[in-house]
Structure 1
Amino acid sequence: MGAWRGRLLVATPAIEDGVFARSVVFLLDHDAHGALGVIVNRPLDSEVHRVLPGWTSSVTSPTLLFQGGPVEADGALAVGVLADPAPADGPPPGWQPMAGRVGLVDLDGAPPAPQHLAGLRVFAGYAGWSPGQLEDEVEEGAWLVLDGEPGDLISRHPESLWRDVVRRQPGDLRYWTTLPDDPSDN
């Protein structure tokens, strides 16, 4: 287990509506107890400074809250990407490693110094799956499990991330980007 930690879940056209339609989820954890991730392509209309004054300069543009998923949507978590995989002075205070250079940042502490991170996002809620649930959904064709690129988690153009990730895949998957957002428009 844990093989999918640090990878992307990309919604297939089988997920037609709801929060997961055309979503890209970064998997923070995946083991025998289930899976946990955040939707990285759903910016909200709320600026980070409205809920976390003092954090705006640490957050990657766009400096908006992101809808991380339907679980605990009234809570927030920060996900950062270390600028250096092995910083000489150690990780920033409040850092919890998750996958490679990606980790959680404690929102109750001070914002990390900008030189520590390549980027940071604040998510309202998260996506969670019970043991075996995600594996079943992947087997049913709802999700693709793909390798991401370094900038996917902190993309400056999150609204186009689903199309960007699908377009760079080999074979016929790229044709999905030509499907209308609403399948009934086809």
Structure 2
Amino acid sequence: MQTPIETTSSPPHWVVKLAPIEATPESFRGFGQVIEAAPDGDEFGPNDAQLDLTHGIPRFYIMHIEDRPLKFSTITHHASVTQCLGSIGGHVWYLGVVKPSIVDPVDTKGTMGADVVESHCGHFYVPPAVEDVRVFRISGSKFVKLNHGTWHAGPLFEPHAMDFYNLELTNTNVVDHTTHNFTKKNNVLFVIDEYSTPPN
């Protein structure tokens, strides 16, 4: 379990430092999959990305991203698609995540309250909690597949710029993009501390 390394009061918000967890198929299981290199000729199986691209036209493209330092205050999820992200060249990058919290509309009847929100995209969800945020370090020839609704912040990285391949849908960022702002809603900013170890 990942816990904050240090929490300091720094107006106008709290700064929560988190040490990254190395992304492996086991450590990332609650959020999606880590896909590693496999021998050529292997048949499709459970270690391959289990994709859902059925709600639109797939879009596979390369993103050029600049100035994404190791901190974040917003986190996003996509309710209708699995998303795959990987760095070109296998360089180290980081991703903040929270497990999916989408709620079935049937379950919200009579229970609507401050803890259940209707997204502008039309679905219902429970806002992510500060204590549930995890940060993963992704390195080498691997990529991550995010489950439906997995909250994610990033890619984040130390160099000035990096390129990433991204598999989602053509309109994901237009019609399926729900964001939670931790600074506005929880008064919190997360900072990734690569050189510290979480307490036991």
Identify the structure with bigger relative contact order (alpha carbons < 8 Å, sequence gap 6+).
Answer: 2
Tell me which interval the TM-score lies in, with the shorter structure as reference length.
Answer: under 0.3
**Alignment TM-score, normalising by the size of structure 2:** 0.24
Larger radius of gyration: 2
Normalized per residue, the structure richer in helix is 1
Normalized per residue, the structure richer in strand is 2
